[in-house]
Amino acid sequence: MVTFKLTRIDMTKLLYSLKGEGDLTPLQLLKLSVKNGKVHDYDELKIPSFFEKLERRKQKSEHGLSTNEIVELGNLCELTSLKSTAIQNWIKRDIKDMIGHPELGKKYSIDQVVILLIVRDLKSVFDFDTIRMILSALFNTITDRTDDIISPIRFYEAYAHVLDFIYHHTQFPLKETNLREITEEQTDKLHDEFTELTKSQWHLIKGIISSTVFSVFTSHLQSTAQEMMYNTLQLNKG
């Protein structure tokens, strides 16, 4: 049994579907992603059970998620590693004031889920004081979506496109200057998607997108190094 990894673009589509938007259900989107990936057969994949439960709902509406379901969802995505204990600490302590209480009964709204995914992508580089500053700059009053400069899911979607291009459509550049140039160039191409922003707002969003992309790659390299070292030491024990 293997766990299928979604691209960031696929994850964005899945998040919109979980909000009740689009023509396909979350499970249909997962199956389509698997089919397009052509790496595994669907039967071989470890799909979180809550997707089957969502499929049985007749009414098309936003789906709230529990903390365990957020972890399962996040770990479906490439370049992401989430732990339940970390999520619990964030919502109960580290960013409690920014996440607030579950907005859909006892479950978290998709906007809240996306904010937690963004926090994970920032956490490898930035401390929580800085993360709170970043979230406040993007979303103003964190519990009020009406005053956002950009919505959480649109921000996630924006840096997902940059990540996807660099990770899947280039030879990953290890030289910092080259990676920075490509990241900023790809971010610039998103400008037409945000014509409603003022010049200063766009420069803010652009800088945070580029920094978040670097943070994701930093986390990926760090976790790869840890895995390599762990495997090496385990072999040495034998």
pLDDT of residue 30: 87
Q: Is pLDDT of 10 > 60?
A: yes
What percent of the chain is modeled with pLDDT above 70? 93
Mean pLDDT in residue range 45-71: 87
pLDDT in tens, 22-35: 999 999 998 888 77
Cβ-based burial of 109 (10 A; exposed 0-12, middle 13-18, buried ≥19): buried
- In this structure, which long-range contacts are made by residues 68-73, counting pairs with CB atoms below 8 Å and at least 24 apart in sequence? 69/107, 70/108, 70/113, 70/116, 72/48, 73/14, 73/48, 73/113
Q: Please, which pLDDT band fits residue 126 given cuts at 50, 70 and 90?
A: very high
Q: Give me the mean pLDDT over the 29-58 stretch.
A: 75
Rounded mean pLDDT, 141-161: 88
The answer to whether residue 238 scores a pLDDT higher than 80 is no
Within 10 A of 102 (CB to CB), how many other CB atoms are there?
16
Amino acid occupying residue 129:
D
pLDDT of residue 1: 47
Can you give the pTM of this predicted structure?
0.91
Q: Across the chain, what does the average pLDDT equal?
A: 89
